[in-house]
């Protein structure tokens, strides 16, 4: 997830679905796998008097992934954000699997939060691949829920195509994949599957 997109209507839909699912499934912990990609040094402001840095406190206020802890406190859920920079796929998902296994004693919702969702044929850093979905789901224990963010694609049945891809990667039936969506952000869905025994 790029920091420039944090805190918009899509995040309201994402976190609304996550809190609802965690409460409904009686999961006490949400592990957000942010697939975090820092924006780099774009913290400049052009003025008539030259280029100046944006105030650090403004950037922190609007780009702080840890701000989600306010939601954790008010919802009564434990929310952990894995925000290690997402640069090398294999190392990154090995650490995701390791962290899931460390949390084995807690009822868990694992939230994969790529910029755009399930990868098409050629994945970029803005996607999560089928192998990464499978690896993550395999590391989870029964009754844990896996949720994945999906942004609209430029094809007619993007919801159906990506839902089927999500289901196939987890080796579950498509009808076992729950879809969360809202008019608040019509270009976004979240896919969720609860792991069976």
- 10-residue mean pLDDT profile of the chain (197 residues): values are 60 94 95 82 79 79 78 93 86 94 92 90 86 96 96 90 95 96 93 93
* Residue 173 forms part of a structural domain: yes
- List of E strands, 58-105: 78-82
Give the range of the structural domain holding residue 87, as residue numbers without chain letter: 3-38+73-194
CATH of the domain at 181: 3.40.50
pTM metric for this prediction = 0.87
Residue 45 domain-assigned (yes or no): no
In a domain, 146, yes or no: yes
- Whether 48 is covered by a domain: the verdict is no
Residue 41: its pLDDT value, please? 59
Q: Could you say which DSSP state residue 89 is in?
A: H
In a domain? residue 59: no
82-135 per-position pLDDT tens digit: 988 888 888 999 999 999 999 988 889 999 999 888 988 788 888 999 999 999
Residue 65 lies in a domain: no
**Length of the chain in residues, anyone?**
197
Residue 63 falls within a domain, yes or no? no
pLDDT for the residue 6: 53
Exposed, middle or buried, 90 (CB in 10 Å: 0-12/13-18/19+)?
Answer: exposed
Domain membership flag for residue 50: no
pLDDT in the model for residue 93: 93
Backbone dihedral angles phi then psi of residue 13, each to the nearest 5 degrees? -65, -45
Structural domain count of the chain: 1
Q: What integer pLDDT is reported at residue 29 of this predicted model?
A: 95
Across the chain, mean pLDDT equals 88
Take residue 91 and report the two structure tokens written for it: 């190392």
pLDDT at 165: 94
Give the residues across from 78 on adjacent strands: 29
């Amino acid at each position: 997830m790029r920091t420039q997109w944090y805190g918009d209507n899509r995040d309201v839909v994402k976190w609304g679905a996550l809190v609802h699912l965690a409460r409904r499934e009686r999961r006490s912990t949400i592990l957000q796998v942010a697939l975090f990609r820092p924006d780099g040094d774009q913290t400049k402001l052009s003025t008539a008097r030259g280029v100046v840095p944006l105030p650090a406190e403004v950037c922190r206020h609007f780009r702080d992934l840890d701000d989600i802890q306010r939601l954790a406190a008010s919802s009564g859920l434990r929310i952990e954000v894995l925000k290690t920079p997402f640069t090398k796929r294999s190392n990154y998902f090995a650490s995701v699997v390791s962290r899931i296994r460390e949390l084995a004693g807690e009822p868990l919702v694992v939230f994969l939060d790529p910029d755009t969702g399930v990868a098409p044929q050629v994945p970029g850093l803005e996607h999560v691949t089928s192998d990464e979905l499978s690896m993550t789901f395999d590391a989870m224990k029964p009754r844990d829920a896996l949720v994945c963010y999906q942004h609209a694609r430029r094809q007619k049945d993007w919801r159906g195509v990506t839902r089927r891809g999500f289901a196939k990667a987890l080796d579950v039936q498509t009808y076992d994949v729950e879809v969360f969506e809202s008019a608040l952000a019509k270009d976004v869905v979240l896919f969720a599957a609860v792991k069976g025994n």
